[in-house]
Each structure stands twice: as C-alpha cells, then as structure tokens.
Amino acid sequence: MGRFVHWIQALALAWGAPGILLVAFLDSSILSLPEIADLLVIYMVTTHPARLWLYVICATVGSLAGCLALYYVGRGGEELLKKRMSTHRYDKTLDAFRRHGVIAVLVPSILPPPAPFKPFVLLAGVAEISVTRFTVAILIGRGARYLVEGLLALWYGERAMNYMRDHGVSVALVVIGVLLIGFLVYLRVKKTKAR
C-alpha cells in the first residue's frame, strides 16, 4: 500500500490541480489517503501562491465527488448497517442523524486527519439526508478546511506543512473539542427556543 500511496502522491504532484482533485476524490470515497490531499494543497500553494483558489477549489470539488459516491453507497447499505447494530442502537443513530444530519456531516468534514469522516458520510446516505443539504455541508466544511490550509501555506510556507505533520493529532483534538462545545450550545439554544 505504501508504494501505491507514493505513486499517487507523485502523480498528483506531476498533474498539479487535477492531481489534487483526484487524490481528494479517492481519499473521500474508496481509499484512505490520510493527510495527502491536505499536504498537497499546502505544498502546491507554497510552490505557486497565485494558484491558491485553484487548488482549494479542486480539493473541495474532488472531496465532494468522493463523498457523494460514498453517500450513494450508504443509500443502499441499510441492511448491512442493520446487521452490525442492534435494532435499538440503529433506530437511535438514524433518528439522531435525521435530526442533526447536516451538523453531523459538517463538523467532521472540517476536522483535519486523523479524525474519522467516512462513517458520517455513509450514515448520511443511510439516513437519506437530502442530497442538497449534504452537498452544502460538504462544500462548506471541506472548502473551509482547504482554504484555511491554503492560507496557512501562503502565510507560513514550509512551516505550515511541518506543523501539520508534527501536530495534526493535537490540532484535530482541539478542533473537535471546540466544535463539540459549539454543537452542545447549539442544541441548548434550540431546546430553549422550542420551549
């Protein structure tokens, strides 16, 4: 697998923006290529700062296409999920996803690796979250993530890539904590308004 990952990375570097699109698609759909799309965006923006928007858009569109492929797999995967979960847990999970599906997809789509993301995409398909809402959530989440990475590369250059490699897990945990607190506040405000 390591040789394949290196081959994909070399191919993406040679292709430029279309290479980022391909890697983002593969990572968000059938393969797991953690951090490669992120590092490619940072590296390419560092190398060609004027193409920031091109790289961010390609990474976002590639990721959206991969997520949509996985989402449609989830649409047909209800029986598989039922076999792996108890009926009570299955119903509870899908009910929560139907109520908060967009947030449940948006939050993980922003998080940097190694935060899990694909299970949320599959569950969005199983829960039959509307394709439009799902698409908007992915575009906002992934677009924000790649834009922030691109801006960091623009401002900090090579140091941004080194920081991602060295502190990716710590950053992911902090972002998860902040987003979780924000989500709990959102639920509290929504509950208060309902009363």
Average pLDDT, the chain: 81
Using a cut of 0.95, tell me whether the model's pTM lies above it.
no
pLDDT digits (tens, 9 = 90+) for 60-76: 999 999 999 999 988 87
The domains of the chain are located at 2-194
Asked if the model's pLDDT at residue 171 lies above 70, the reply is no
Cα angle 122-125-131, degrees, rounded to a multiple of 5: 130
How do residues 136-150 score in pLDDT, each as one tens digit?
999 998 998 899 888
pLDDT at residue 25 in the model: 94
d(Cα 38, Cα 44) in Å, to the nearest integer?
A: 10
Q: Is 180 a residue whose pLDDT tops 60? A: yes
Higher pLDDT, 67 or 107: 67
Higher pLDDT, 159 or 42: 42
